[in-house]
Amino acid sequence: MFAEMEHHGTRCLHLMHDPESGLKAIIAIHSLARGPAIGGCRFISYPNEQSALEDALRLARGMSYKAALADLPHGGAKAVIIKPSQPFNRQQLMQAFGQMVDSLNGDYITAMDSGTRVADMDIIRSQTPWVSCTRQQGDPSPYTAKGVMEAIRSTVAFHSGRRSLSGLTVAIQGVGHVGSSVAQMLHASGARLIVADIDNSLAQRCAEQCSATIASPDEIYDAKADLFCPCGLGASLNQQTIPRLQVSMVVGSANNQLANDSAANALQQRGILYAPDFLVNAGGLIFVSMQYAGHSEAAIEQKIQQIGTMLQTLYLRSLSSRLSPHLLALEQARALLKHAEQLHTAA
């Protein structure tokens, strides 16, 4: 376990098993150097405990990179609650998780992620103040989606010199909270959509609302489109799927889209412009962090718009250095974190 923490650069790992509620939860705190760590709580099924641990460690690291690149005063962390295979009481489970969060005395602020909803955050709030995305604060997904739209506009402008998204074909993988919101905005901008979701009812709903064509979760990789937009879970871009892509751009909300760093090179070799996920999907974190600190809606929107500008700079640097945007963004985030660690140690 320590080897894995070392590999991901994780500072602390907290585990909780509560026999009463059946809670099995992991909180991975990657860094506290820039401030208290913020990161969502994922509540999904895992094939085994090892994959849940791996998910928490990778996601926490991504949150540190995201906060550093967005210049937010937070470190990165992530929580994973393993969805019980037996019937469970959701209220009890979230209460127990709230107690776990509270025991960390503010080092970790939890939020929504795949599988959790605003109502869960309200239950957690009954146990701890260290939570956002409650009913009072709201769902960050529309803000994440706005950031994805900024990133899509910026990527399309850089790649094709187009200012309008009208007529662009986008293949969206996963139309849950973020994906469906992105689909609606793309549809309103005149884009053509192909959508897939492992929950067919969500794909159907999106198809009706946005005049989208439905592909199966497997077919979406072969969809003939301009842009692939991964909004499901991680590692969808890997050795098997990258050769199948029929697009020239990849921009989406999913965390950890690349199975590993070499997937970025594989995309570059195929001439596919890839927008680093931890830059693209920062809108939700920007919302959570800035709202928590009492900033105005206008200030939040303005910060989210900067995602597009940051991508333009990154693409230009990639063009001149021939290094992938992913590698350049990683280097930049790591340098910012290292600097923060040095200041933290010196203080």
When asked if residue 174 is in the footprint of ligand NAD (CB under 6 A), the reply is yes
Among 281, 291, 318, 324, binds ligand NAD (CB under 6 A): 281
Which of 229, 232, 258 has its CA nearest to residue 174? 232
For 218, list phi and psi in degrees, rounded to 5: -85, -40
**What Rg, from alpha-carbon coordinates, does the chain have?**
19
> Bridge partners of 224?
246
Asked if 284 is part of the footprint of ligand NAD (rule: CB under 6 A), the reply reads: yes
Contact 259, 238 (CB under 8 A): yes
The residue (of 235 and 323) whose beta carbon lies closer to ligand NAD is 235
Residue 217 or 317: which CB sits closer to ligand NAD?
217
Q: Per CB under 6 A, does 41 bind ligand NAD?
A: no
By the rule CB under 6 A, 289 interacts with ligand NAD: no
Residue 171 DSSP SS3: strand
Residue 76 sits in the site that holds ligand NAD (CB under 6 A): no
Residue nearest to ligand NAD (CB): 176
Residues 91, 93, 96, 98, Cα dihedral to 10°: -70
| 62 binds ligand NAD, rule: CB under 6 A | no
Catalytic residue set: 78
Q: Going residue by residue from 95 to 134, which x/- string records binding to ligand NAD, judged by CB under 6 A? A: -----------------xxxx-------------------
- The structure tokens listed for 89 are 């009481």
Positions 259 through 278 that interact with ligand NAD (CB under 6 A): none
* Alpha helices by DSSP H, the chain: 2-8, 49-69, 90-102, 118-125, 141-160, 177-188, 200-210, 262-269, 277-280, 283-292, 297-321, 325-346
CA dihedral 266, 258, 2, 69 (to 10 degrees): 110
Residue 254 within binding range of ligand NAD, rule CB under 6 A:
yes
Interface residue with ligand NAD among 20, 49, 199, 331 (CB under 6 A) is 199
Q: Which stretch binds ligand NAD (CB under 6 A): 31-39, 86-94, 248-256, 313-321?
A: 248-256
Closest separation in Å from C-beta 116 to ligand NAD: 9
Pick from 202, 235, 299, 323 the residue near ligand NAD by CB under 6 A: 202
DSSP string for 27-77: EEE---TTSSEEEEEEEE--SSHHHHHHHHHHHHHHHHHHHHHTT-S-EEE
String of b and e for 115-132 (b: at least 16 CB within 10 Å)?
Answer: bbeeebbebbbebbebbb
> Which parts of this chain interact with ligand NAD (CB under 6 A)?
112-115, 140-141, 144, 173-174, 176-179, 196-199, 202, 217, 231-233, 253-255, 281, 284
